[in-house]
Each structure stands twice: as C-alpha cells, then as structure tokens.
Structure 1
Amino acid sequence: MIGFDTGAITEVALLAAHCDDLAIGMGGTLLTLAQARPGLRVRALVLTGAGTERAEEEHAALESFCPGAELDLTILDIPDGHAPAHWARAKQAVAALARAGAAQVVFAPHRGDAHQDHRLLAELAPTEFRDHLVLGYEILKWENDTPQPAVFHPLAEGLAETKAALLLKHYPSQHNRDWFDEQSFLALSRLRGVQCRARHAEAFLLEKAVITFGGA
C-alpha cells in the first residue's frame, strides 16, 4: 500500500455538528497529531451544545485528546437536528474559522453522512477552505451510513484503547446510547485496521487532492 506523507503539521481546523463528533470520528488522529507536534494549533468549531453540559464535556474531552496543543474551541447554540435551517449562521461560523487561522489540514464530516447537520458541514467545508486538504471523518452511530473510505491512518499500539477510554470518561451524557461503548469504537477501528494492514486505524474520505510525483 502506497502511503502519502503530509509533512509537519502545525495547525489543523476541525468542524463538527455535535459535541463528541470529533472524538468519535478522529480521536486517535488528534492524539497522534498532538503527540507528534507539541504546541500544535487546533482550531475547532462545533455547531450545537453551547450552554449545556455537553459543551462542558467537549471542552474537557478536547483538552485530553489534544494534550499540549494550543486549543481554540468555539461551540454554538444551533438547535440539534436543525442546522440546515440555520445555514447562514453556520456558513458565517465556518468562514470565520477559515479566516482566523492557517490550517494545513481540515477535518469535517463527509457528504454521505445520513445526519443532516453533518452533511451541512460537509458541504460548507470546501466552500470556505478552498485550497486545503479536507478530510471527511466517519461518525459511528445508529444510521446505516458507514462509508467506503479511501484514506487510512493506522493508529499506534494502544491508541485505539486510549481513545475508547477517553470517550467513555468525558461523555457521560451519552452512556445511555446503546452503541456508545468500548466494543463499538474498537470494532470500527479494528475493521479499518484490517483494511490497511494495521491493528487499528481511523479512516477518512477525500474528495479532492493534488499529488506531486518526485524522485527518479
């Protein structure tokens, strides 16, 4: 399997519809990036949850998933499940995030996600981050919308277990969901690992990229 190296990453932008989407979709990748680059700049936008216990959970969780990083987290109060009705506000927030930093990689939901709030962000991301590498993460949930990703990030030994433990620790409000458990999270990362010859991995969808061939 041919790998692609992004080079050193100093800043990333994260887009999520709900508190816990980022941790579920790319918690292992966040841990990897933060550990590889002390002082990594992380600019994150979450559309829903402001003023609730979920916002408090999200702040604590991202601090744990991005140890040592310079974290700038904005959480809005758009109603869960109604983001498309607040298109203008979401668009403005994504645009502000894009202007505020110099992200080298952008992580957002993917267009095939069955949840309307996720799809909205997937559609908005490339309209504001037009010259960036935009990777769509997958969110484990009830809907039968598991994608067929093309980009895989193998996780270092023990990182998938760390991710699952942090999810359970930081999001107690989600413990009543029948899919929110260690077995579910490890099952998906194990599947993605099988697909890239690793023990565990996280996977992403890529719509567009430019490749430069080098060497002899």
Structure 2
Amino acid sequence: MIDLTTAALSEIAVLGAHCDDIAIGMGGTLLTVTRRHPGIRVRALVLTGGGTEREVEERKALDAFCPGADVELTVLDVPDGRAPAHWDAVKDGLSRFRRAVSPEVVFAPQRHDAHQDHRLLAELTPTEFRDHLTLGYEIIKWENDIGQPTLFHPLTTAVAEEKARLLGEHYPSQADHDWFDDLSFLGLSRLRGVQCRHPHAEAFVLEKAHLNFGGE
C-alpha cells in the first residue's frame, strides 16, 4: 500500500456534533498524532452539551486522548438531535471557530453519516474550511451507515486497546448504550486494519485534496 505522508504538524482542528464523537471516530489517531508531535495544538469544537456533565466528560477525555498537546475545547449548547433546526447557531459557531484557528488538517464527521447532527456538521465544515485538508471520520452506532472509506490511518494493537479503555473510562454517561463497549470499538478498528494490512486502523473519507507528484 502506498503511503501519503504529511509534513510535521503544528495544529489540527477536530470537530464533533456531540461529546464523544471525536474520541469514538478518531481517538486512536489523536493518541498517535499527539505523541508523534509533542506540543501540537489541538483545537476542538463540539456542537452540543455546553454547560452539562457531558462537557465535563469531554474536557477530561480530550486531555487523556491528547497527551502532551496544547488542547483548547469549545462546546456549544445546540440541542442534541436538533442541529438542523438550529442551522444558524451551528453555522455561526463554526464560523467563529474557523476564524480562531490555523490548522494543517481538519477532522470532522463524514457527510454520509446517518445521524442528522453529524451530517449537518460534515456538510458545513467545508464551507468554512475551504482550503484545508479535511478528513471525515466514522462513528460506530446503531444506524447502519458504516461506509467504504479509502483512507486509513494504521494503529498498533496497544493504541487501539488504549482508545477502547479511555472511551469506557471517560464517558460513563454512555455506558447504558448496548453498542458502547470494547468489542464494538476494537471490532471496527480491526476490520479497518484488515483492509490496510495492519493490526488496527481508523478510516477516513477525504473531502478534497490536491495531488503533487514530486513537484515544487
């Protein structure tokens, strides 16, 4: 498999509709990237959960998933499950966030996600981050929307297991969901690993990119 390798990263932006989306979709990638780039700036925006227990969970979780990074998190108070009805608030919050950050890579939900909140954020992200490499992560859940991504970030087994452990440790409010467990998270990352010939992986949908075949 041919590798695509970035230059050194100084800042990434990570976007989620709900507290836990980012960690579920790309927790292993966060662990890997922040350890490879000590001091990297991680700028995060979450649409829902502001001022609630979920925001407290998210702040502690992102600190754990981003060891040694400079993490700044903004959590809005858009009603959970009602983001499309609050389009203006989502667009305004995303626009303010965009003006405050300078990432080399943007991570967000992918636009074919079946959850309306995830999908709206995925659709609006490229309208603000027009000239950025934007990667859409996948969120395992009850809906049958797992797609066919073609971009994979390999994970070691140790990192995949650490991701699963941290999810259970930092999101106790989600423990009653029958899919929220180690088997689910490790099952998907193992499948994506099989598809790129590694023990585990997280997969992404590439929004748009330029190709430069060895030129200046």
TM-score by length of 2: 0.98
Cα separation, 2, equivalents of 1:211 and 1:5: 12
For this pair of structures, how many residues does the alignment match? 215
1:71 match: 71
CA distance in 2, matches of 1:96, 1:12: 16
* Distance in 2 between residues matched to 1:134 and 1:40, nearest whole Å: 18
Q: Would you say 1:141 and 2:141 are equivalent positions?
A: yes
Tell me the equivalent position of 2:3: 3
Which segments of 5 or more consecutive residues in structure 1 lack a partner in the other structure? none
State the 1:48 CA deviation.
0.4
Secondary structure, in 3 states, of the residue corresponding to 2:72? strand
Return the alpha-carbon distance in structure 2 between the equivalents of residues 79 and 94 of structure 1. 15
- Percent sequence identity is 67
Distance 2:117 2:87 in 1: 10
Residues in 2 aligned to 1:64 and 1:42: alpha-carbon distance in whole angstroms: 12
1:176-187 aligned at under 5 Å gives the runs 176-187=176-187
Deviations 1:86-135 (A, max 9, x none): 11111111111111111000000011000000011001110000000000
Deviations 1:58-84 (A, max 9, x none): 000000000111111000111001001
In 2, the alpha carbon distance for the partners of 1:49 and 1:96 equals 18
Distance 1:207 1:39 in 2: 27
One-letter identity of the residue aligned with 2:52? T
Q: Partner residue of 1:52? A: 52
Q: How far is 1:157 from its partner?
A: 3.8
Q: Secondary structure at the match of 1:54?
A: helix
Provide the C-alpha distance between the structure 1 equivalents of 2:93 and 2:8, rounded to a whole number of angstroms: 27
**Distance apart, 1:156 and its partner CA:** 2.6
State the superposition RMSD in angstroms: 0.9
Is residue 88 of structure 1 aligned with residue 88 of structure 2? yes
The 5 Å alignment of 1:55-204 reads: 55-204=55-204
What runs of 5+ residues in structure 2 fail to find an aligned partner?
Answer: none
User: What displacement does 1:147 show?
Assistant: 1.1
Contact 2:133–2:207 (CA under 8 A) maintained in structure 1: no
Distance (whole Å) between structure 1 residues aligned to residue 85 and residue 117 of structure 2: 10
Q: Distance in 1 between matches of 2:75 and 2:82?
A: 15
Q: Runs of 4+ in structure 1 displaced over 2 angstroms?
A: none
Q: Within 2, Cα distance between the matches of 1:41 and 1:198?
A: 28
